[in-house]
């Protein structure tokens, strides 16, 4: 029985539609959605040349991602400002990425069945829900389209080893082969264009050049040593493969400089600056193992995994490192017979490396969305590495490997195993989609996964505060500070709640601490300055309000408060003396 590509595409799209249909009823969540989408100052402006110029020239929310902003603006024009259109577009892009991945894998390997499994894993795995059901992660699904398109163009352009240049082919007797040179050059330009456009959607494409080298190794086989085994690597061909990607490395360097500069300008590294290098390294090693564990058993998924800067490094990172070294040694040892294992392992490592927190940005230990593209390597390892094991069993039908390679269904035993696995993924993924329906559901779930999750407590405190429930807000703020006492802005917001309830003494102490640390709360000086001003303590009020005005010089309310403090000091002196 033949597995037709059109049927595979239809089933993949149907699977995505079934899993993500519930997003129709979802709301924006108070997890960057307000910043990126709902309250984005550009998304209500006319879409004209001035708008495009602004998107291209001005970073926003610590990122330079003009293509993502453009996609949001188009959604707003087509669907209106609500979340439904944005989330449906996310799901449509995810389906498009899935279908394109299947076609590219099939072209590179000739294996319809295994390529279908790789695409199904990409489409349905619960780890990928965050990238689709979260409006803010439009950048994931949009950038992935250009990434996978670049894979396909690279495979089209480079069917032979990298030392087979245009001149040698032109001198060959085959005019048809020589005639492909313009197409190859065009495909190379297309790869560079895809990388540039993808980087304008999300900076994650910095690892694309090395990922294409992995494709050169397997499945394209461009690095194979002459006369060597299928998994051998010729150093000269490896050097040429790296050299031909010089323009891509240049684009990657530019994208990396843009993201680091914009993150530092907005203060995105302030938290990470307080995390010891040893803690970051331990977290990076553990995160790889945890990613692998949740890829195998996708339970306990959370929107936020907390990174504790005060954690003690125990035995876990060393055990995790030993395990990773063992796997690396194994896939290297069997590379001559099973190059897909090494290729998948390299793909995973290369694409996870920038988000492991070794150069810290942000407050999270890891994130499910960061497995969106790296997980493709794991799917290779399963699809090509496990198939021989399945074939060795006495399934009552044709062998899995040969059937997949020729585009036929594998033995019915293998089909049932894959169907059972996909059914489990679909059920878990659909349940995870429901978790993202609103802010309360999302962070209540995060606390079910980890009751000490300080960020989930903080976001629920804000949620209750907006609903005029100060007692619940205070409870969650306190729980957040117990879990992560370093968060000065949580202290500031708790002080706000206490002030509203008339508990000025405790609020004053909290504001003082926030103003002293000055860490991650740009409004600390403003808040405490206004309390001092209300109490008639003009000198400290003037000092703090002047600091706040330096940060926000265009804020007229702040300037008026500063003028009042200065005037009171001139007339009456500092009453606190």
Q: Are residues 370 and 250 in the same domain?
A: yes
Domain range for 561 = 439-572
Nearest by Cα to 351 from 324, 323, 372: 372
One domain, residues 352 and 218: yes
Highest mean pLDDT among 78-82, 516-520, 529-533: 78-82
Are 324 and 467 within one domain?
Answer: no
More reliable by pLDDT, 537 or 102: 102
Domain boundary among 410, 435, 460: 435
pLDDT value for 167: 36
Give the alpha-carbon dihedral of 109, 115, 119, 122, to 10 degrees: -80
Do 426 and 496 share a structural domain?
no
Same-domain check for residues 503 and 413: no
In CATH, what number is assigned to the domain containing residue 500? 1.25.40.10
Is the entire prediction scored with pTM above 0.75? yes
Concatenated DSSP letters for 414-472?
HHHHHHHHHHHHHHHHHHHHHHTTSHHHHHHHHHHH-TT-HHHHHHHHHHHHHTT-HHH
Domain assignment present for residue 303? The answer is yes
Residue 187 counted as domain residue: yes
Which is more confident, 289 or 179? 289
Give how many domains the chain has, as a whole number. Answer: 2
End-to-end CA distance of the chain: 91
470 and 344 belong to one structural domain: no
- pLDDT digit string, tens, across residues 265-295: 555 445 555 678 888 899 999 999 999 999 9
In a domain, 471, yes or no: yes
The secondary structure of residue 576, as a DSSP letter, is: T
Shared domain check, 454 and 360: no
What is the token pair recorded at 85? 């259109």
- Residue 462's nearest CA partner among 63, 136, 48, 30 is 30
Mean pLDDT along residues 516-526: 59
Question: Do 151 and 277 have their domain in common?
Answer: yes
Q: Return d(Cα 414, Cα 433) in angstroms, integer.
A: 28
Residue 168 confidence (pLDDT) above 70: no
- The pLDDT score that the predictor gives to residue 400 is 36
Final residue in a domain of this structure, among 405, 435, 465? 435
Query: Does residue 577 fall inside a structural domain?
Result: no
Residue 233 covered by a domain: yes
Q: Is the pLDDT of residue 575 over 50?
A: no
Average pLDDT over residues 544-567: 80
Q: Is residue 552 part of a domain?
A: yes
Q: Give the residue with greater pLDDT, 429 vs 62.
A: 429
Q: Which of 47-56, 401-410, 456-465, 501-510 has the lowest mean pLDDT?
A: 401-410
In a shared domain, residues 427 and 446:
no
Is residue 230 located within the same domain as residue 272?
yes
Whether 449 is in a domain gets the answer yes
pLDDT digits (tens, 9 = 90+) for 195-241: 999 999 998 899 999 999 999 999 999 999 888 888 899 999 999 99
pLDDT the model gives residue 123: 98
Q: What value does the mean pLDDT take over residues 414-435?
A: 93
404-to-286, 391, 411, 529 alpha-carbon distances in Å:
35, 11, 10, 70
Question: Which residues neighbour 428 within 8 Å (Cβ) at sequence distance 6 or greater?
Answer: 126, 298, 299
268 domain residue, yes or no: yes
- Domain co-membership, 106 together with 254: yes
pLDDT attached to residue 310: 74
Q: Of the candidates 435, 470, 504, which is a domain's last residue?
A: 435
Residue 576 has pLDDT above 60, yes or no: no
Instruction: Tell me: do 9 and 124 sit in the same domain.
Output: yes
With contact defined as beta carbons under 8 Å apart, do 418 and 387 qualify? no
């Amino acid at each position: 029985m033949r597995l037709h590509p059109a049927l595979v595409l239809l089933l993949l799209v149907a699977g995505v539609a079934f899993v993500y249909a519930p997003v129709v009823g979802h709301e924006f969540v108070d997890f960057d959605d307000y910043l990126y989408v709902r309250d984005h100052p550009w998304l209500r402006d006319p879409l004209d040349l001035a708008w495009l110029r602004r998107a291209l020239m001005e970073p926003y929310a610590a990122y330079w991602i003009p293509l993502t902003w453009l996609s949001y603006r188009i959604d707003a024009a087509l669907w209106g400002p609500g979340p439904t259109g944005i989330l449906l577009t996310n799901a449509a892009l995810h389906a498009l990425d899935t279908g394109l991945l299947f076609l590219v894998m099939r072209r590179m390997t000739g294996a319809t069945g295994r390529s279908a499994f790789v695409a199904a894993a990409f489409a349905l795995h619960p780890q990928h829900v965050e990238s689709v059901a979260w409006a803010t992660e439009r950048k994931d699904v949009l950038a992935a389209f250009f990434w996978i398109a670049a894979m396909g163009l690279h495979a089209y352009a480079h069917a032979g080893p990298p030392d087979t240049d245009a001149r040698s082919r032109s001198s060959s007797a085959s005019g048809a082969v020589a005639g492909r040179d313009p197409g190859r050059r065009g495909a190379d330009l297309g790869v560079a264009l895809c990388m540039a456009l993808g980087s304008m959607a999300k900076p994650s494409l910095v690892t694309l050049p090395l990922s294409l080298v992995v494709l050169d190794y397997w499945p394209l086989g461009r690095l194979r040593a002459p006369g060597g085994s299928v998994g051998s690597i010729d150093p000269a061909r490896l050097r040429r493969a790296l050299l031909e990607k010089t323009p891509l490395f240049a684009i990657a360097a530019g994208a990396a400089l843009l993201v680091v500069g914009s993150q530092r300008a907005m203060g995105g590294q302030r938290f990470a600056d307080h995390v010891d290098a040893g803690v970051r390294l331990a977290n990076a090693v553990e995160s790889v193992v945890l990613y692998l564990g949740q890829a195998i058993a996708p339970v306990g998924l959370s929107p936020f995994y907390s990174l504790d800067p005060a954690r003690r490094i125990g035995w876990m990172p060393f055990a995790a490192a030993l395990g990773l070294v063992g796997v690396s040694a194994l896939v290297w040892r069997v590379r001559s017979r099973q190059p897909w294992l090494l290729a998948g392992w390299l793909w995973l490592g290369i694409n996870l490396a920038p988000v492991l927190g070794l150069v810290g940005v942000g407050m999270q230990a890891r994130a499910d969305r960061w497995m969106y593209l790296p997980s493709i390597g794991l799917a290779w390892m399963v699809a090509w590495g496990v198939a021989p094991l399945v074939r060795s069993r006495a399934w009552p039908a044709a062998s899995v490997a040969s059937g997949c390679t020729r585009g036929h269904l594998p033995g019915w035993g293998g089909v049932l195993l894959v169907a059972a696995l996909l059914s489990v993924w679909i059920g878990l993924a659909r349940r995870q989609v429901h978790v993202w329906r609103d802010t309360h559901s999302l962070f209540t779930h995060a606390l079910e996964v980890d009751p000490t999750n300080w960020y989930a407590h903080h976001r629920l405190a804000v949620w209750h505060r907006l609903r005029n429930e100060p007692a619940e807000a205070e409870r969650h703020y306190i729980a957040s500070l117990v879990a992560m006492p370093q968060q000065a802005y949580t202290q500031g917001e708790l002080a706000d709640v206490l002030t509203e309830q008339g508990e000025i003494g405790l609020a004053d102490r909290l504001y003082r601490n926030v103003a002293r640390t000055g860490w991650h709360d740009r409004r600390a000086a403003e808040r405490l300055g206004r309390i001092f001003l209300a109490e008639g303590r003009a000198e400290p009020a003037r000092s703090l309000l002047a600091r706040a005005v330096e940060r926000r010089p265009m804020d007229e309310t702040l300037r008026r408060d500063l003028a009042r403090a200065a005037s009171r000091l001139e007339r009456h002196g500092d009453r606190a003396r």
